[in-house]
Amino acid sequence: MLITPSNLKSIQTVKYLPNTQTKSANEHKEMNVQNRQKNIDEKIKELKQKRKNSLKKLAISSLLLVAVIRYSIFRNIWNGEKELAQNFLELMQKNKQLFVNFVEKYESGIKYQAQHIDFKPANSIEEAKAFAKNNLNIENFDADDLEIANWINSALVKYSNKFEGKRILPRNVVCKDKEISNPNNIAEILTKISEIYNSTLRINKESFENFDETIDSLYEIQTLSEKLHLTDKMQLKRSVIKVTTENELNEYAKKCQEIYENKEKYSRFQKKAFFTEYTNKKAKLDFWNNTENCVEFLKTRLIELPQDINKMIQKGKFIPKRIKEYTLEFMQKTGYKPTAGVEAQSEYAPIWHELGHLAQREDEAKIYYNDSVTNIKNADKSSDLVSKQLAYYNKTINKIKHFFIGHTPMVEYKYKLVTTEPYKFEFDEKDKFIAKMISEYAASSPDEFVAETFASLMEGNIGKFNEDIINAYKRFKGPLLDFFEKQ
């Protein structure tokens, strides 16, 4: 249609009527978009929630798994610890019972004597046995020789009186032919630390027979020419230590003659002691007359040796006279005592030797006794502590508590048992050399060195001891040295 001024008005008054159908379609389309977006958002939210729930479940599952594993470990460790603690308690009670048994037997078995005992020789075997039982705590006295029975009782009385009755004595005495493990020995002591109160002294009766013949032989040697067996005047002059001078030899010869002419006045034990004195004097002389012993002695001294002596020792070629002269010179300068052996020996020396063994074992038993008393106390303390800990950790509430704080229960073993080590000693060549200054037999072992030295102490010879003997006796736990040093 052509628009002209005449129809413009009509055209301008015409109103636009929208297409309602189109608008409705657009709105519907827009709503669909919004709904889809909402659905998508809801899906996303749902997925996020699912993921969150999954993570939560995973976390819970993980925590549960960790908890299960932790509890399993906790339980296994605690069960193991508990089993160990229970085994410990059982073992502790068994050990405690052993210590209690020893302590009870020791306390009931140890018997001491009166501070002083008066000895009077018995007139019969029955009287000697009664004296031993009533005064010396000897329960079994098996002897059929009255002289030997009196000799034994006399020796034990002297030993007991010396220590004011505070040392134990053998509980049993056996004195019969061949009732001894070594027929060459005069006596032996049988004892154990665990039964120190029940030791047995055995005497070899045969060893005291035929001493009259021995005295006859010694007398014949003396009458040959005022000298000891196998010892001539030249040897005496060469000796580093003139232990046995001619005057001493003459006195010894006179004593030998006295015993020879009056054998009935001397007991078998006095004759035995006289013979031992002879062998000890000879051994002492021979020891220091031996060039090798002098060299060994010089080697043990931390001194600067003269050049010529040094060369001899290095080359192993010695001039005996020079070695002995220098050894004597060194001893005179330092005051070193050359010997400590029991020379003028009493008739009781063989029993002193065996009592030396007993005294050393008695000291060991005292250590074990004191440790046992300590162990009984520690066993009670430890058992009480462990039992309390077991009772505490066995409560469920305490298990839960320690589980959550991450602490595995551990039993504390605070009180330990003391281990008593028996005497064990190294005995090297230097020790043997020192022991030979006492006797050849002393060099056979630390125990025999202690026993031989103890016999010498009982004879009052501590003043003859050099520092080597004293130090070795201390190191080998020789008994009662302090007592002898105070005398």
- Look at residue 248 and tell me if it is in a domain: no
- Look at residue 394 and tell me if it is in a domain: no
Dump pLDDT digits (tens) for 28-48.
667 777 777 777 778 788 787
- Look at residue 48 and tell me if it is in a domain: no
The pair phi, psi for residue 75, each rounded to 5°, is -65, -45
Dump pLDDT digits (tens) for 62-117.
777 776 777 677 777 777 788 888 888 888 888 899 999 999 999 999 999 999 99
Name the pLDDT band for 253 (thresholds 50, 70, 90).
low
| Amino acid letter for position 207 | S
Task: Provide the residue range defining the domain that includes 143.
Answer: 125-208
| Residues 340, 360: Cα–Cα separation, whole Å | 20
Dump pLDDT digits (tens) for 343-393.
556 889 899 999 999 999 999 999 999 999 999 999 999 888 888 888 887
- Look at residue 485 and tell me if it is in a domain: no
Average pLDDT over the chain reads 80
Structure tokens at 191: 């004892």
Structure tokens at 96: 């405690």
Domain ends where: 302, 334, 366?
A: 334
- Look at residue 153 and tell me if it is in a domain: yes
Dump pLDDT digits (tens) for 270-318.
877 777 776 776 677 778 778 888 888 888 775 677 888 888 878 888 8
- Look at residue 119 and tell me if it is in a domain: no
Q: Using CA atoms of 296, 301, 306, 308 in order, give the dihedral in degrees to the nearest 10.
A: 20
Q: Indicate if the pLDDT at residue 242 is higher than 50.
A: no
| Residues 323, 313: Cα–Cα separation, whole Å | 10
Dump pLDDT digits (tens) for 420-446.
887 888 899 989 989 988 888 899 999
In this predicted structure, what is the pLDDT of residue 237?
37
Q: Indicate if the pLDDT at residue 9 is higher than 80.
A: no
Burial of 321 (0-12, 13-18, 19+ CB in 10 A): exposed
In this predicted structure, what is the pLDDT of residue 188?
93
Name the pLDDT band for 240 (thresholds 50, 70, 90).
very low
| Residues 234, 227: Cα–Cα separation, whole Å | 11
Give Cα separations from 315 to 233, 294, 359 (angstroms). Answer: 31, 16, 45
- Look at residue 23 and tell me if it is in a domain: no
Residue the block writes with tokens 């006794």: 369
Dump pLDDT digits (tens) for 106-138.
999 999 999 999 999 999 999 999 999 999 999
Name the pLDDT band for 404 (thresholds 50, 70, 90).
low
Nearest of 379, 403, 399 to residue 389 by alpha carbon: 399
Q: Is the dihedral of CA 305, 306, 307, 311 positive or negative?
A: negative
Dump pLDDT digits (tens) for 183-212.
778 899 999 888 999 999 999 888 777 666
Name the pLDDT band for 448 (thresholds 50, 70, 90).
very high
Burial of 152 (0-12, 13-18, 19+ CB in 10 A): buried
Percent of the chain having pLDDT more than 70?
78
Domain ends where: 334, 366, 394?
A: 334
CA 201 to chain centre: 25
Domain ends where: 314, 334, 354?
A: 334
In this predicted structure, what is the pLDDT of residue 261?
78
Name the pLDDT band for 447 (thresholds 50, 70, 90).
very high
pTM: 0.75
315's enclosing H/E stretch is: helix 307-315
Number of folded domains that form the chain = 2
- Look at residue 452 and tell me if it is in a domain: no
Burial of 372 (0-12, 13-18, 19+ CB in 10 A): buried
In this predicted structure, what is the pLDDT of residue 6?
54
In angstroms, how far is the first alpha carbon of the chain from the final one? 163
Q: Indicate if the pLDDT at residue 245 is higher than 70.
A: no
